[in-house]
Structure 1
Amino acid sequence: MSSEETKLEKERIKGYVHLTHRSAKEIKYEADFEVPTNFGEIGAVLVENEHKRESFMKEIVLDGFLTGPIKFSCDSWVHSKFDNPDLRVFFSNKCYLPSETPEGLKRLREGELVALRGNRQGERKVFERIYDYDVYNDLGNPDKDPGLKRSVLGGKEHPYPRRCRTGRPRCAKDPLSEKPSDKVYVPRDESFSDDITCLLNNKRI
């Protein structure tokens, strides 16, 4: 995505993957594409998941370079394009000082930071990776019973560590309280795996 000589972002090279291996625990995809010799160093890969469900990306490896393979450690869930049309970006394992970061990578890193911070608008979705925080204002249920109203934890009156912001609607009888829910939002990569969730539900942990 960038050139070490000019540090400018180059035109993207597109490739479409095809399935080459499938096992019980792993699926491998491959794609063929050509990178010009004057392209410069590749600093990022943008991914679009065309499946209707999210996919867990373990790593991306680019082969065929004289200097050896370029690895991108992912270990992250990639949302479906039907849930979010934005491309998912993964950066190479190479580290840069701020003053030496290529301009193309700077723009992508700034965009990634914006995506992780969110804009504090709307209700959080399961597939999102937004790290936004809020007070504990969903501990009660005043709409069901006024006696179930609870104090807000995390503000100036009752300091407390914050929770992830969910953006759920406020209660009709108490605008300071958020409607409770059985589903708790956490950024997608922070959620428990299905195996651990099953063990927790069966009280085996």
Structure 2
Amino acid sequence: MISVRTLALSSAFPVSFAFFLLTAGPAVASERDSSPAEQAQTQQLNQNITDANTAVDKQNAENNAVYQEQQARYQEQLAVYKAGQKNYQERAATYLAARDRYIAGHAGYHRLAWPARYEQRLIVDTNDLLGARVHTSNGRTVGHVAEIALLSGRVDALRVTLDNDKGDVWVEAADLRFDADKKVVMTNLNRRDLYVMTRESY
């Protein structure tokens, strides 16, 4: 026979459990539903992420625009360079085709002695040559270098534009020296012969 105390305990258990469920229910529900403050915080976090992504996309677009502009400028410069190279190669080919006649035609011109300081300063392949002033060996300025003819990677001749609209003349490397300190090209041909040479064609 079950005692009264045992019956009381067994009957009390369901009541207590039901009471726990009823009292715990609101707490569980409150954990599932976000408060207005939490919802605002979540919304702000999402907005921050959206703003950050928008800023990254904008920066990427700006970087791409700069890159495209640089590429366009590079392509333009490359086209100019290639055109210049083509023009130079055509002129160099013309010079080389006439080189033997050029040398023979200039062999008879009067040449002055080189000053001692220029005897060993030969013309070499250097960017300093283009545009450099040209002097006769006695120090008189006659023009400037307008073009360089290369043969086997070395300077074979220079096209000199003479001052006072006297014209252009090719001068071979044997008749030239270069003062690297003063950036001046020297020739042992005299000015009168240079003027005569401008009237010749090869």
Q: TM-score range by the shorter chain?
A: under 0.3
Structure with higher helix content? 2
Report which of the two structures shows the higher radius of gyration computed on alpha carbons.
Answer: 2
Q: Return the TM-score normalized by structure 2.
A: 0.22
